[in-house]
Structure 1
């Protein structure tokens, strides 16, 4: 099986920096969501606001970075000797992992019945995160048998926790996807985009066609007249996945514009092409906006196109600063989170449930602005430092 593009096998610092910054901001805004009295521009916009803030760009940024990594990841698997079946299994395993994590985390938020479960939701959640670490930790010791035993314990633990879970007022509901959760949505978008990338064999024109097809899918799915046709009615419920896939495809396209060296291009030309890509997305979003307003909640194409354009412009700057000007010392702070995003993402949830079990609470002043805003920054930095410490203890999660 041959590789699709001529990409470098080295890590791109600017991609890692963008991923690390996104994770830091994500932790910050998640903590900030529980703070009273913060300015409107520091909150998610309501579904019908036809507006967006930097908070509404965090989730699409993560999807965009997932896309930027896909060409490198697939090439690396092929170089290591993966055949077609092995590659598909690896992609499917990662996607299923994200879906499973998403479903578990969503059910731990609402709809649970602690009395029927026989334990608090915080205890159940902490056991879940222990199993996650057992299953997806990158073990560095050589004893393969012990690795399989630990992973096996984690898998069995997840199955047991799934059976233990009960929801609903009468406690008869089982673990189910109320919605897929952030990780689950990323999993679906990653799976679909990876399949499309292989389908067009990494061809840039083919990927652009797929990118446009996602917008067309959304438009068709929202047409009331077509929703009455049985063959097309299913599209209405899948428009969100199409837009999330668009964001991942946008990241793939940007990576190929910058790092595919099959055709020699100057750095200036690559930057100009990326800038034009951002400009085109903004223009398309502008013309679509009268029909599909900006909305993260409704996952509209205008929101996605503007978000992808913002990510592209930020990356152009980071690439110039880090990879061209070599101003990269500051990126070390983000490296543990950038190379271990899953662990960094779940740390705040682990802390929350651990504090609940210990009957500990943050002071109420930390939940009111302006102190709460400062605290949210401190908390985000603290989580990054915990991730660094866990990395040193050989705790690294990899899907």
Structure 2
């Protein structure tokens, strides 16, 4: 198995990413299905527990962490300076924050009557401009490329000022919350910077994970309500999830540890996953398991689950070389941003048309589950075609 400094891609990481995106599309569609049991929905904020749905978002954060060493080392191997790498991290973070901000404001808080265009049309234009900005251009004509990106940037600015919110329509876009992509952006930023500082040393990564949990604990300490720690405790826990994935990636492929035997990697990975689960078990005595609350037990249990899941995938795909069955996941694995926004584009287009494309009977019970599965694979198919037609998005 080659190290991350030489490998173009690691199949097992791609498979985990593809599976995560596929399940994310499925659960997002399933959220609109009525008559589902609690285990098929997000647990409410007041509950102490989690469903499989509550593992999807942390799984994506985990896989973001697993990919960070490859992305950074790839840039350094191409001759980028540390300053350029940091700038790329900042630019990528800003992109995710912008995406999250626009998507959240398209979901609610708007005053459509005061806007010049319907909100679904506003959303479709937003996705068009996103594609223009973050599309991978294969043309060597830089004037054309920068013109397209410039149109996209100008379009987003225009949409920002077109947006009207509040009861009287006198408010603009607001940070109600950062949205899924925005939360990923913050967690990615802090974890990537921490990785640059830790320099592939596991002991410092473990320390960083512990520091995130201490940050959360301080935010929940009596007397610190409303403090900096309290306001950003969720970001700390989300960052810990990325760091957990980053740590597992380092155990398997890090420069210092990549030469370990398969057995040694598995023993250490298993010990790592067990340590995460034990830490979650202990912390559960003090804090609930809650995705909504972004609590340490939830994050650590999810990281333990992802660790075991990755170990299984790594064994099957990279060691046993049984990877032909994973081909259907390739679009989501190699083009995740496009795959993620396709359902939102479809939803906005249907909303704008005013036509009930999906029968109401398909949104209830078992029929809703079947539809959600079918829709997920439809999205994969569209992503495959668009990727084949060289429409690839990259932050």
User: How does the TM-score come out when normalised to structure 1?
Assistant: 0.96
Counterpart residue number, 1:374: 370
SS in 1 for 2:365: coil
SS in 2 for 1:15: helix
1:189 to 183, 187, 190: 187
Matches within 5 A, 1:335-346: 335-346=330-341
Counterpart residue number, 1:244: 238
Counterpart residue number, 1:259: 253
Q: In 2, distance between residues paired with 1:276 and 1:385?
A: 39
Matched, 1:397 2:393: yes
Superposed CA offset, 1:284-326 (max 9, x none)? 1111112101000000000000000000000000000000001
Contact 2:5 2:77 in 1 (8 A): no
Q: In 2, distance between residues paired with 1:216 and 1:51?
A: 21
Aligned length, in residue pairs: 391
Q: In 1, distance between residues paired with 2:389 and 2:80?
A: 30
Query: Displacement of 1:95 after TM fit?
Result: 0.2
Moved more, 382-391 or 259-268: 259-268
Q: In 2, distance between residues paired with 1:145 and 1:331?
A: 39
Contact 1:113 1:167 in 2 (8 A): yes
Matches within 5 A, 1:316-355: 316-355=311-350
Matched, 1:136 2:134: yes
Question: Mind listing any 5+ residue stretches in structure 1 that lack a counterpart?
Answer: none
Matches within 5 A, 1:259-298: 259-263=253-257, 264-298=259-293
Q: In 1, distance between residues paired with 2:166 and 2:24?
A: 30
Moved more, 202-211 or 315-324: 202-211
Superposed CA offset, 1:339-384 (max 9, x none)? 1110000000000111111222210011101100100000000000
Contact 1:29 1:55 in 2 (8 A): yes
1:40 to 35, 38, 41: 38
Matched, 1:221 2:219: yes
SS in 2 for 1:394: coil
SS in 1 for 2:223: helix
Q: In 1, distance between residues paired with 2:39 and 2:235?
A: 26
Q: In 1, distance between residues paired with 2:72 and 2:80?
A: 9
Q: CA RMSD in A?
A: 1.1
Contact 1:271 1:316 in 2 (8 A): yes
Query: Displacement of 1:9 after TM fit?
Result: 2.5
SS in 2 for 1:224: coil
Runs of 4+ that moved beyond 4 A: none
1:207 to 205, 208, 216: 205
Superposed CA offset, 1:118-150 (max 9, x none)? 211100000000000000000112211100000
Question: Mind listing any 5+ residue stretches in structure 2 that lack a counterpart?
Answer: none
Counterpart residue number, 1:16: 14
Q: In 1, distance between residues paired with 2:375 and 2:385?
A: 15
Q: In 2, distance between residues paired with 1:299 and 1:239?
A: 8
Q: In 2, distance between residues paired with 1:79 and 1:9?
A: 11
Counterpart residue number, 2:105: 107
User: How does the TM-score come out when normalised to structure 2?
Assistant: 0.97
Query: Displacement of 1:6 after TM fit?
Result: 6.3
1:179 to 173, 177, 180: 177
Query: Displacement of 1:46 after TM fit?
Result: 1.0
Query: Displacement of 1:192 after TM fit?
Result: 0.4
Contact 2:111 2:167 in 1 (8 A): yes
